[in-house]
Structure 1
Amino acid sequence: MRANVFRLSMAHPGDLSALDRLIADGLVRAEEIVAVIGKTEGNGGVNDFTRGYFTQSLMALLSHHLGEPADSLVKRIPCVLSGGTEGVLSPHFVVLSRTGTPLAAPAAAPALAIGTAMSAPVAAEHIGRMAHVRSVAAAVRMAMDEAHIASAADVHFVQVKCPCITSARADSATAQGKTVVSSDPNRSMAAARAAGAFGVALALNEIKEGDVNDMELLQDFRIYSTRASISSGIEVDANEVIVLGNSRFWSGHLQIAHRPMNDALDIGAVVGMLSDLGIDAAPQVTAEDRARLQAVFVKCEPDRRGRIRGHRHTMLDDTDINAQRHIRGALGGLVAGVIGDSRIFVSGGAEHQGPDGGGLIAAIAHRADNGGSSCAS
């Protein structure tokens, strides 16, 4: 089995022309596409309709090429969009595809492995609670099995899109005599992200069943996953999971690495992650090494204590600009400055995803011994 990664720019949230050209030219086979992760110029909030617009456009395109109804495709191809391209961030999307079957015997070196899974729809009364945690954990394990990743240690990045509680969903649950974690959609998005992070941590053995409960979600930030990136939105009703890791049962020259980020100034984590991929940043990645990078993913969160390395920050107190927009712009600039490329997936809302005020960074790159790139970027 072999993974391919294509990082494509877009002129607007419904622009799939770059992918359409690759399919038409035979460089991408539509039937091999298994997931898409992207950044749109929306606001990243509850009413960010750019995410749904992109998803609708993507499924329409794939439906055209595959002859399969879009309603069917959306149920099996995770499409995770993060709104907000503040600062130097550029709208783009990463297409993940795979071909072939697992190797009969393990290869000498591991290669990028991709697994996906969709959970059953999550009832409104379960979102942001332990039932949601278990649902995500089960889906992550399914995706690991599909990717033939036997050890949690070989998983480097887990992207999950969780549903949130809209006013309509809250009203429906109340009418049935059930309670929800919050009827505030924004608060429910945070609760959903927290549950998703706990679910990833549970699946990857970062926490154990029985060690956590509902009370610790959004409360005890000493509990976190170092490999989870969770988004939430109104456009989904189930958990969509994408697991990226390395496996010796996959072929190819792509590999993935990650590092937790301790805070929003942790440039050392960025440099360390690149070093794990055999890429030097001194101080910026060279053009040759930059061409090896196929995707970069960042998760970040304003520190809830209101301080960065002992000094006060005002992100949480700004009533004009949402704190998540501040942090996406800040981390986008920091990482882009090191890499020299603005096509970076930077997602805010990192509750229990890395240390409080921190997050994680991961990247997919060709190995230095590849001798050339076969994937679009």
Structure 2
Amino acid sequence: MTTTALLAALAGSLSALSLGTWLFLHSERFGALPSKEELDSLRRSSQWSETEGCFRNPIPTPRMADDAGFLRTLAEYVLTPRPYASPEKPFPTLKPDFRSLPPDADRVIWLGHSSFFIQLGGMRILIDPVLSGSGGPISLSTRAFPGSDVLTPEELPDIDLLLISHDHWDHLDHRTLKALRPRIAGVVCGLGNGAHLRRWGFESSRIHEGDWGQTFSFGPLTVRLTEARHYSGRGFTTHKSLWCGFILETDSRRIFFSGDSGYGPHFSRIGTEHGPFDLALLECGQYDRRWPFIHMKPEETAQAAEDLHARALLPAHNGKFCIAYHGWQEPFERVNAASRGKAFSLVTPRIGEETAPWDGLAPSQRWWE
């Protein structure tokens, strides 16, 4: 082959690779960025920075520590052996029987990682469902631990309300939501996240996008969006949609869900203004010294539960995916130790197990052992 032919072949290969990459990054699974018209409305948010042209946290929240470069961290993540990153065999789980669930019973069922099914005030609520076997952009990435997917989307009942805390892959799953879309009555999410859902076929009339502090009422249920210390983005563009936590409240019950969040003074403010909480569902996993501001260490999770005046703590963001360097059991062990002697009770249900501390259902077995 001549030099000219070789260069032509190389140029053709690079062009094909570039086109393939572009098509992949613009495929439906990546969702969509807010349109220009939608961006005009997002700018009215107090969380929007005109100088940066995106949402931002009220206090400095770098994604990485000063000594942790993105490319080096990515290389370490791919190349560093992690012998305890996932369980050696399937751990004990339960398959929920939604048909036997009394319609007037307030119940929380952890579905692994940050996915929850909640029945509250007669409403059936689903939070950050990822039931496709993967928490990444392709099916072979961020695989769920063996046996941790106890349900398929088709096995869930009709959902009154879907809550999405932010658009990261391990919280906003394209395949799960496409399968559930016909059976979801309404959605609540942070500003800018509706663009993803509309691309996936959700009608605008079903989507309620809100700012921190905004509330939405659905019969007996009030949903309040709360501050979180994190970031957003499904590709190379970040911070164009708002991340959040949620307060779920009825006349008799109050539940807090943190979403992904580093520790910060917002937990104390939320606890003072809206606590106490019957149950706090708090992030407790995927932490690392390289990203100390966007996720909580287990000891910070325990402190956040105290700040919130929570009567019970259920640690989440663990037990299904490996997205950090720590052993898969470590978050449970550390939060268990950090919760001793605290005013709240620690509940550690198996995936698929019912939790209702107000009715004496407060599982605390060390199932991870």
TM-score (norm 2): 0.31
> Of the two structures, which has the highest relative contact order with CA contacts closer than 8 Å and spacing of 6 or more?
1
Query: Which one has a larger percent strand, Structure 1 or Structure 2?
Result: 1
Q: Whose helix proportion is higher, 1 or 2?
A: 1
Tell which structure's C-alpha radius of gyration is larger: 2
